[in-house]
Structure 1
Amino acid sequence: MERAAQDRRPIFHVGVHKTATNWFQKCFYPRVPGYRYVDRRLVRSTLLAHSPLAFEPERVREELGLDADCPAIICEEDLSGVLHNAGLASNYIAKEMANELAALAPQAQIVIFVRNQQAMAASCYHQYLREGGTGSVHRYLFPEDYIHLGNVRPLKNPRFDFTQFEFDRLVAHYDSLFGEENVHVFAYEQFAQDPEAFLAMFAEDLGLTRPESVKQRKYNRSFRRALVPVARMLNLLTRRSVADKRTLVHIPFWYPVRTVLLEGLNFVPLLGKRPSPRDLLGGSIYDWIGQRFWESNRALEGRMGVDLSEWGYTTEEPAVPVPRPKRSSLFAFAKH
């Protein structure tokens, strides 16, 4: 009880994407006794909808109610970058948001979830399709093979960028601002493997009183195998909502209709099982991603004090280098 009283400070859960943040926002944080969960719309309008050059800490503190007697919980994954625009958002916005949060409440507790990068890439692609994407896995993950990004101005186009998966860098920046003892880093796989045991540990670590009952509902399930090409086809009929896509013709109001249709079909077993990350990405991409992040994961493993390899994270240098998956030289030159 003494620790709980001492740790009744603001809690900023900053993501990252695809690590059950929707579940925490809808099922967990609003039910935590003694804390006030701040609505996501207010968080976005005060922290993400303004120019960083116009940031006024005192005004934002007042709008978010950070000086109220009841401590606030903010959970917003866009604070660690906007999905599908990582080249700009996850590298620049993530750093700026961390700096602004430190200016708002330097005493706050920070929550960061990480996830196996291969599973993360597959989950991001599923989300890309759910939001209207039309590209293949390779086109989504390696946009530089398809878009004339330029050598010195790659941020001109919204696109995926693997640097958003270098979680050790994000954690290190928050450590430098808030102190390592105030930055709580968890693996998504810990939660997925045993939610009950994890939530008990999670509440203890943050000094929270765990809600008496929470629903173990899954949000944003991956598409079934046969539904993936169907989603890409249906998405050709709407401009919404991702920027990196193709549109044959925009049919007004088709986007919400398409959403209902796809989510309904996703419950039909005849459309096959949900593909594993390796099956969805393909062996060459899957293996290359593992190689790409072994050094980042080793640093992260040391920071967290857990064996990340237990959940499939690559933490050792591969014995045989894995070449980056590429298109043929002819198609790569065409950038189409």
Structure 2
Amino acid sequence: MDHVGERAREAQTGAMPQEGVRTRVPLLLHIGYHKTASTWLQSNLFDDPRQGFTTETGSPRHALVERLVVPDPLFYDPAEAAAGYRRAIRLAADKGCTLVLSHERLSGYPSSGGRDRQLLAERLAGTFPGAHVLIVIREQKAVIRSMYSQHVTDGGVESITRFLSTPEPALCRKPTFNLGYYCYDRLIALYHRLFGQERVLVLPYELLARDPHAFSASIARHCRGEASIPTSARERVNTARPLIMQAVQRPLNMLFYHNELSPGALLHIPRFHKRFARLTPIFRALSPSIVERRLDARLRRIIAARVGNHYLESNQRTQAFVDHDLAALGYEVEPAA
């Protein structure tokens, strides 16, 4: 065993191992995926020192993206990035807590097909080599349905059909959504290679709804702690917007919101998506439930037709990395009869 290398890795993440003492993991990297209860985890577990976790870094959460995602690869300095979190890791350890760097953008961005997800994984491994990792997955058709709505909320303008189909894909001039992003086994295997299998925990999102305390306890054990306070998933932090609201926002994004997902808007209203979000209670009160059900059913039919059995083999490989029965949680693991 390379004890020198191990000590160096632990030092970089802010703590030194003690012989014979089971100490908490100093740093947990929670990388997403998007739409897998990241906000719930941050609010109910990671921001609660009583559970043995903290996200306190002295900076707002979006600083994680600015420091770890945005920098050009030729300018990124792992040592400098690690130094920016060393004090926070030490302060968390002094309180008996694991520092959690939690942001779903660390797993890539679905609307761009997660094109930088390998770059980010290698960047995280080079910056925090001794960290533990949490990856939360979700049944693919359901997560695509949810992420498409988020795509529109963030400024996207495509219909669901166009979102799922890359125009002129041969030249790949600009990254767009692709089904391969949700072949979970590929990203999990990458993190196993970079961090070691024992340092990577993969949990299905669906377990949270069935047994939130077991979900939280798995994360606590992964960080050498215990989930001492029962948690509940009944309170949803982010609730879905009415589909009629999303249908109205799509053309408005094209007109008024110049952003990465809708370049070339005729006019630009700063933070248009935030301003439009204020209308959510009105749409929720006025949207007829029968129309919502029909719009939702149409979305799901289109997604199911596009996905087909694309994820069957990937899910079979993913099952080897997960301690829960994916088929029982709704994932396609066996060919349809």
Q: Shorter-chain TM-score category? A: 0.7 to 0.9
Structure 2 residue matching 1:112: 3-state secondary structure: strand
Structure 1 residue matching 2:236: 3-state secondary structure: coil
CA contact (8 A) 2:315 2:333 kept: yes
CA contact (8 A) 1:225 1:272 kept: no
- Per the alignment, residue 102 of structure 2 pairs with 75
Q: Percent identity?
A: 26
Q: CA separation in 2, counterparts of 1:179 and 1:276?
A: 46
Change in CA separation of 1:49 and 1:6 when aligned onto 2, cut-off 3 Å: same
Task: Name which of structure 1's ranges 73-82 and 230-239 shifts more when overlaid on structure 2.
Answer: 230-239
CA contact (8 A) 2:154 2:261 kept: no
Q: CA separation in 2, counterparts of 1:57 and 1:292?
A: 36
Please point out which of 116, 119, 141 is paired with 1:118: 141
CA contact (8 A) 1:129 1:231 kept: yes
Residues 8-87 of structure 1 correspond to what in structure 2 (within 5 A)? 8-33=25-50, 34-37=52-55, 38=57, 39-65=60-86, 68=90, 70=93, 71-86=98-113
CA contact (8 A) 1:125 1:137 kept: yes
Superposition deviation, residue 35 in structure 1: 4.1
Please point out which of 122, 128, 132 is paired with 1:99: 122
CA RMSD of aligned residues (A): 2.9
CA contact (8 A) 1:278 1:286 kept: no
Residues 133-282 of structure 1 correspond to what in structure 2 (within 5 A)? 133-144=156-167, 148-149=168-169, 151=170, 153-154=171-172, 156-210=173-227, 212=229, 216=233, 217-244=235-262, 247=265, 249-251=267-269, 254-261=272-279, 263-268=280-285, 270-272=287-289, 275=293, 279-282=297-300
Normalising by the residue count of structure 1, what TM-score does the alignment of the two structures yield? 0.80
Task: Name which of structure 1's ranges 248-257 and 174-183 shifts more when overlaid on structure 2.
Answer: 248-257
Superposition deviation, residue 297 in structure 1: 0.4
Change in CA separation of 1:225 and 1:252 when aligned onto 2, cut-off 3 Å: closer
- In structure 1, the gaps of 5 or more residues are 320-336
- Per the alignment, residue 308 of structure 1 pairs with 326
Change in CA separation of 1:275 and 1:160 when aligned onto 2, cut-off 3 Å: farther
CA contact (8 A) 1:4 1:207 kept: no
Structure 2 residue matching 1:110: 3-state secondary structure: strand
Q: Deviations over 1:29-83 (max 9, x none)?
A: 1113454414423322221121222232221111112662524211111111023
Change in CA separation of 1:7 and 1:236 when aligned onto 2, cut-off 3 Å: same
CA contact (8 A) 1:16 1:80 kept: yes
Structure 2 residue matching 1:11: 3-state secondary structure: strand
Report the AA paired with residue 90 of structure 2. A
Superposition deviation, residue 219 in structure 1: 3.5
Q: CA separation in 1, counterparts of 2:272 and 2:103?
A: 28
Superposition deviation, residue 173 in structure 1: 0.3
Q: Deviations over 1:57-112 (max 9, x none)?
A: 221111112662524211111111023112xxx13x21122112222232211100
Report the AA paired with residue 122 of structure 2. N
- In structure 2, the gaps of 5 or more residues are 1-18
Q: CA separation in 1, counterparts of 2:329 and 2:22?
A: 34
CA contact (8 A) 1:15 1:78 kept: yes
CA contact (8 A) 1:168 1:299 kept: yes
Q: Deviations over 1:264-308 (max 9, x none)?
A: 235326432755997142435314414011000000012213321
Report the AA paired with residue 127 of structure 2. L
Task: Name which of structure 1's ranges 302-311 and 232-241 shifts more when overlaid on structure 2.
Answer: 232-241
CA contact (8 A) 2:32 2:105 kept: yes
CA contact (8 A) 2:27 2:131 kept: yes
Normalising by the residue count of structure 2, what TM-score does the alignment of the two structures yield? 0.80
CA contact (8 A) 2:25 2:132 kept: no
